[in-house]
Amino acid sequence: MANTTPEGWILIGGFIVLTVAMAKPFGLWLHAIYEGRRTWLSPIVGPVERLLYKVGGVDPAREQGWRGYAVALFLFNAIGILFLYALQRVQGVLPLNPQEFSGVAHPVAFNTAISFVTNTNWQSYGGETTMSHLVQMLGLTVQNFVSAATGIAIAFVLIRGFARRETRELGNFWADLTRITLYILLPSCFVYALLLVFLGVPQTLAGSVAATTMEGAGQVIALGPVASQVAVKMLGTNGGGFFNVNAAHPFENPGDLSNLVQMLSIFALGAGLTWTFGRAVGNTKQGWAILAAMLVLFAAGVSSAYIAEASGNPIHHAAGVDPSGGNMEGKETRFGPAASALFATVTTAASCGAVNSMHDSFTPVGGLIPLFNIQLGEIIVGGVGAGLYGFLLFAILAIFVAGLMVGRTPEYLGKKIEAREIKLAVLAIAILPLSILGFTALASVMLQGLEGLQDSGPHGMSEMLYAYSSGTGNNGSAFAGLTASNDFWGLTLGIAMFLGRFFVIFPALAIAGSLAAKKPIPAGAGSFPTTGPLWVGLLVGLILIVGGLTFLPSLALGPGAEQLAMLRGQTF
């Protein structure tokens, strides 16, 4: 643990404690919306909710089966992709464009439209030099809200699948989407944005200001409605930054307090949903067990990343560079190795692409941790909603393994887990390696794919692997050396983001429909306990084994080979 500090470990430990402390308060709030109960916001928001139902012709009391829910969800998101694409293309003739940006080019507009609708927020452009204020607000920020709400809605459906008995009704997509947006995301982001403004994040419709540096040079500083987008990008685990360097920019992340608040907000709703799950199925210990498994994986990852970054680069040490500060390449001096490693682990444990340091500049092992977090499906707390339903897919596989161990038909929360559920869970989990490894292999032999690389050797391999992992995993962060704005990268990453979102959602909905229709089975002497340390250990072990067997060869060719080369004095 060379060069790690007590302050760094206190920061990491304190963050984990605060995450646990947030779970129940946010879980209670989410559970009230899950059940459709009246809340303290109902007198204010209720009239708006009823008006939206009236205008949309929606009967919120009319519930849908999993197929009807899936159709409504897909249509809504397809329209969102088309609208956002068109908005970018005609940006040059629209108002609220003080910098007079022209329309966004086709490959970037296509990629960005899919990116923000799928809650990925991969950015093949510089935000402050490409998008007008109108596109930032009406296009990107709106999708930050509704894509996050969509993820939470899917989590609600899967929870209902476990909680309900002998029914095909799983809720109403339009009602879930509306209530989540109006009662959770909008009010919390309104307060959050005000806090960010207080901490120094700008919120204005001005285009830019001219400044004179200490050296006497002129500089144009971009401004805009930053706080509102930062609030929802963090709380909704979207990640798309107003500025190109994201949360490393002092206007997005002014200091230590804003850095901590932003990291906590990334985990807030994801942790809360685990408690909501336990409450909905009638046993909060079930939710705490899931959160415990998530945090075991998180603690292992952040510890490894911090040790790697604090230890620095041995090549620099051999050259006489003072190693006491660790690896500071690509990091803000405001944060240093501990806060940077923590932020990188948080943002990739959740499906949030925000960054306060450049992952491309991490040591090989330090960069491997964010990459592996994404490849696991970002189920370590995960994106809002997506983390929980992704984790429950692994729980279904784990209970199947447990059933084999005890020699009886597996059951989870009173529901038999049969061939249909296992096949659907495997189908949803398998889409990640099929997309990530398939597209990486294609890019490695295509000239247009290789043209985007900044570095050769294993680090170039890591850049490609990270890009498709981030796209398929709906994360959005990148190894920043990759230039992904040409037609090949725009198209393939767009397809990867689409597959990683909807080809996981639809099997999850089908599982929910299958579970909800089942008769409950009382627990017996042979039932596998799913609330204690043995269950947590089984979950963690299964996730690591599946991830390790699937991605270890590719990780060995990328960060693994680069780590060995670094120890021998070679860089790329």
Q: Cβ of 406: how many Cβ atoms within 10 Å?
A: 12
Q: 370 near 344, Cβ under 8 Å?
A: yes
Separation in Å, CA 47 to CA 52, 176, 307: 9, 16, 52
Distance between the two ends of the chain, CA-based, in angstroms? 25
Extract the tokens encoding 120. Answer: 């990925």
Cα 159 off chain centre by: 20
407, two tokens: 């020699």
Closest by CA to 285, choosing from 32, 24, 512, is: 24
Which run of H or of E encompasses 416?
Answer: strand 415-416
Band of pLDDT at residue 319, cut at 50, 70 and 90: low
Size (the chain), residues: 572
User: How far apart (Å, rounded) are the C-alpha atoms in residues 66 and 557?
Assistant: 41
Tell me the pLDDT tens digit for each residue of 235-255: 999 887 788 888 999 999 999
Place of tokens 């540096």: 213
Give the pairing of strands 218-222 and 411-412. unpaired
What is the predicted pLDDT for the residue at 455?
83
Task: Calculate what percentage of the chain has a pLDDT beyond 70.
Answer: 98
Predicted structure pTM score: 0.94
Q: Which two tokens mark 536?
A: 């947590």
- Cα separation, 91 vs 461, whole angstroms: 35
Alpha-carbon distance of 357 to 341, in angstroms, equals 9
DSSP conformation letters of 299-365: HHHHHHHHHHHHH--HHHHHTT--GGG---TTB-TTTHHHHHHHHHHHHHHTT----SB-GGGS-HH
pLDDT tens readout for residues 153-186: 999 999 999 999 999 999 999 999 999 999 999 9
* Partners of residue 120 on adjacent β-strands: none
Cβ atoms of residues 509 and 66 within 8 Å: yes
pLDDT, greater one: 84 or 487: 84
Distance CA 235, CA 350 (A): 11
Q: Which long-range contacts (CB under 8 A, 24 or more apart) does 250-255 make?
A: 250/200, 250/334, 251/200, 251/201, 251/202, 251/223, 251/226, 252/201, 252/226, 253/201, 253/356, 254/199, 254/200, 254/201, 255/199, 255/200, 255/334
- Mean pLDDT over residues 181-199, rounded? 96
**Token pair 């089984």 in the structure block, residue:** 538
Cβ–Cβ contacts within 10 Å for residue 28, how many?
13
Report in angstroms the alpha-carbon separations of 452 from 457, 488, 489.
Answer: 14, 9, 8
pLDDT of residue 411: 86
Please determine, for residue 1, whether its predicted confidence score (pLDDT) is greater than 60: no
Distances (CA, A) of 201 to 191, 233, 249, 334, 355: 13, 14, 10, 16, 16
* Cβ proximity of 480 and 359 under 8 Å: yes
Cβ proximity of 193 and 185 under 8 Å: no
The predicted pLDDT at position 2 comes to: 64
Quick one: three-class SS letters along 15-26?
HHHHHHHHHHHH
Within 10 angstroms of residue 296's Cβ, the number of other Cβ atoms is 16
- Name the one residue in this structure whose structure tokens are 């956002």: 84
CA dihedral 432, 434, 437, 443 (to 10 degrees): -110
Give the model's pLDDT for residue 459: 92
Cα dihedral 367/371/376/379 (nearest 10): 80
CB atoms within 10 A of CB 211: 10
Both structure tokens of 551: 């991605």
Dihedral angle, C-alpha 315, 321, 323, 325, nearest 10 °:
-120
Q: Say if residues 498 and 114 touch (Cβ distance below 8 Å).
A: yes
Q: Please, is 16 exposed, middle or buried when counting C-beta atoms within 10 Å of its C-beta (0-12, 13-18, 19+)? A: middle
Render the burial of 515-539: b for 16+ CB within 10 Å, e for the rest.
bbbbeeeeeeeebbebbeeebbebb
The half-sphere exposure of 422 on its side-chain side, counting CA atoms within 13 A, is 13
Lowest mean pLDDT among 48-62, 405-419, 431-445, 446-460: 405-419
pLDDT, one tens digit per residue, over 91-105 is 999 998 888 899 998
Q: Residue 214's pLDDT is what?
A: 82
Residue 331's beta-bridge partner residues? 357
Question: Distance between CA atoms of 458 and 214, rounded to whole angstroms?
Answer: 41
Tens-place pLDDT, residues 129-143: 788 889 988 998 899
CA dihedral sign, ordered 335, 341, 342, 348? positive
Q: Looking at the predicted structure, is the pLDDT value of residue 318 above 80? A: no
Partners of residue 357 on adjacent β-strands: 331
Q: Which residue has the higher pLDDT, 12 or 205?
A: 12
Sign of CA dihedral 435, 299, 23, 268: negative
